[in-house]
Amino acid sequence: MKEQNYKNHRQFLFTYHILTLLSILALLIGSIRNVIYSSRENLYSAWLIVLISFILLSLYIHSRVFALKAQDRAIRAEQGLRYFLLTGKRLDTRLSLGQVIALRFASDEEMPALADRALEHGLSNDAIKKEIKIWKADWHRV
């Protein structure tokens, strides 16, 4: 694996983010078009295809959202424990979830000071990531 850094830390899966979404949207548009041009006898089945399209779109969106929410909770707990192990103090609850998530990329040497600086100066998660000198890779992000 190549080294992870600010420029390459975001994960993008072409098959999920593009192909699956475009396929579901094509199905939805095609099914709506099918309803518009359906005869009275086929209207029921045409509407069922529209319903299936909406169900697939909902599954696509919610599967991503649910996975990210669960992972965000785990990251908050991991970083809280990590901060405690490094400093003997609890991680300040005023840090936003985005800030805590960004801090996971900081090395153990940088993390406590960077967390304090993020709180003091209200650094955004992007600004936190840009300040990291020694990047700690996270290859398991969903």
pTM of the model: 0.75
Q: How many domains does the chain have?
A: 1
Lookup: tokens for 124: 């955004």
Distances in whole angstroms, Cα of residue 68 to Cα of each of 36, 53, 56, 101, 113:
37, 23, 19, 11, 27
Residue 51, domain member (yes or no) = yes
CB neighbours (10 Å) of residue 106?
24
Residues 17, 73: Cα–Cα separation, whole Å: 23
| Tens digit of pLDDT at every position of the chain (142 positions) | 677 777 667 777 889 889 999 999 999 999 999 999 999 999 999 999 999 999 999 999 999 999 999 999 999 999 999 999 999 999 999 999 999 999 999 999 999 999 999 999 999 999 999 999 998 887 777 7
Q: Which amino acid is at 5?
A: N
* pLDDT number for residue 97: 95
Residue 31, domain member (yes or no) = yes
Distances in whole angstroms, Cα of residue 23 to Cα of each of 1, 53, 54, 55, 134:
31, 10, 12, 13, 40
Residue 18, domain member (yes or no) = yes
Please give the residue range of the domain that contains residue 60. Answer: 12-68
DSSP string, 10-75: S---HIIIIIIHHHHHHHHHHHHHHHHT--GGGHHHHHHHHHHHHHHHHHHHHHHHHHHHHHHHHH
Residue 3, domain member (yes or no) = no
Residue 80, domain member (yes or no) = no
CA atoms within 13 A on the CB side of 58: 6
Residue 128, domain member (yes or no) = no
CA 108 to chain centre: 24
Residue 135, domain member (yes or no) = no
Residue 134, domain member (yes or no) = no
Residues 82, 111: Cα–Cα separation, whole Å: 9
Greatest alpha-carbon span in the chain: 71
